[in-house]
Each structure stands twice: as C-alpha cells, then as structure tokens.
Amino acid sequence: MSGARAATQIGLIVAFMSLGCRDRASSSTLDFERRTVSDWVALPGSSIAASRETAWRGSTLSETWELSVPVTWTVYCGRLRDAMPEGHHEISSDGAHQAFSRASTGDAFSVSLDLVSPGPPLRVRVTFTAAPD
C-alpha cells in the first residue's frame, strides 16, 4: 500500500470517527487533537494493521488501533520525539512502550504506544484517550 493511500485511509477514519463524537465532548478541541495524534503517529509508509476501536466511559473517550510501520521501534520512538506536537510531553518510555500527554484548558489527552511485533514491519498499538480535566 502506498504512503499516500495509507495517509488517506487514516484521514478518512479520523473524519468518520469525528462525526460520532460531536455531542460527547468539545468537538473542535477533540477533533483537532485526534487529527494531530493520528497524523503524528502514522509515519510515511505506515498503514492501519487493525481497525480503530472506540469506547466511551462517561465523558472519557478511548480509541485503540494498530499500525504497521516501516521502521524499527528505536527509529520510530526517535521520530515521534523529534516530531512531538506542541504541548505534548513524554511521560514514560521503555523497550516496548512509550507514552505522551497533553493538557489543555478543561481537557487532558494521552497517547500510549505499545510494541506488538518488532517486524518487519513493526506493529504498534496506539491508544488515544481524551478526558475532562
């Protein structure tokens, strides 16, 4: 699958998922953060390896999906650090897990990345969480 096609598929999934969340949270902030995270974690050449699962627990949103990534775990983690969106902070990292968070006025966001398979290609489970702060 080409990088452009994978990026288009990821963008479409984010757009469709956003439509279902408008009454649950501040849509503009949530939509922006979801797009930012989806674009950030999907390096060029990545593809969706397992579709997105969405769950609401009260006013907390949790989304999990898996990516197939054409680099090693070490390279992937380094590239995420180098391209970290403004306001995000790394909160933990080890040989198979990396986590980031960002707080805004009234909301807290986190991104958890877990190594599923070292590959090739690398397979990573992404969990995005948004909660009122």
Cβ atoms of 109 and 128 closer than 8 Å: yes
The pLDDT-based confidence of 22 (bands split at 50, 70, 90) is very low
Task: Supply the pLDDT for residue 105.
Answer: 86
pLDDT tens digits, one per residue of 70-114: 999 999 999 999 999 999 999 999 999 999 999 988 899 999 999
pLDDT tens digits, one per residue of 27-49: 788 999 999 999 999 999 999 99
Amino acid symbol at 97: H
The span from the CA of 122 to the CA of 51, in Å, is: 16
Task: Supply the pLDDT for residue 15.
Answer: 39
Whether 24 shows a pLDDT value over 50: the answer reads: no
Pick the CATH number of 3-132 from 1.20.58, 3.40.1340, 2.30.29, 3.30.2030: 3.30.2030
* Between residues 12 and 92, the one the model is more confident about: 92
In the three-class reduction of DSSP (H, G, I as helix; E, B as strand; rest coil), residue 25 is classed as coil
Give the start-to-end residue ranges of the domains of the chain. Answer: 3-132
